[in-house]
């Protein structure tokens, strides 16, 4: 969980350069991300953690914060 958190944070920092993102902060409400972000995030998660995100996972609440993303990764990886 610790390393998942660090890796996710590192990936997201590219998009949130001027903002120190908190673990439970709503990513989408901040207005930093563009229309391609959702796809880039899915690709990153699949490659970095060897998981497969499918249409059943596409509930936005799974992607809304660092914590939510880490929980999804943990759930899929186990």
User: Where does this chain touch another protein (CB under 8 A) — which range of 1-9, 11-19, 68-76?
Assistant: 11-19
For 65, residues 6+ apart whose C-beta sits below 8 A from its C-beta are 23, 24, 25, 26, 27
Residue 64: name the closest of 11, 36, 14, 23 by CA.
Answer: 23
Q: Which is nearer to another protein, 3 or 34 (CB)?
A: 34
Closest CB 74 distance from another protein, rounded Å = 20
- Which positions from 18 to 57 touch another protein by CB under 8 A, shown as an x/- string? --------------x-xxx-xxxxxxx-xx------xx--
| Token output for 33 | 């991300």
């Amino acid at each position: 969980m610790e390393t998942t958190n660090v890796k996710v944070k590192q990936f997201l920092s590219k998009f949130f350069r001027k903002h120190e993102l908190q673990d439970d902060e709503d990513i989408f409400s901040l207005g930093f991300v563009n229309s391609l972000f959702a796809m880039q995030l899915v690709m990153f998660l699949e490659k970095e953690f060897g998981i497969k995100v499918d249409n059943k996972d596409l509930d936005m609440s799974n992607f809304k914060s660092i914590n939510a993303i880490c929980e999804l990764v943990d759930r899929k990886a186990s």
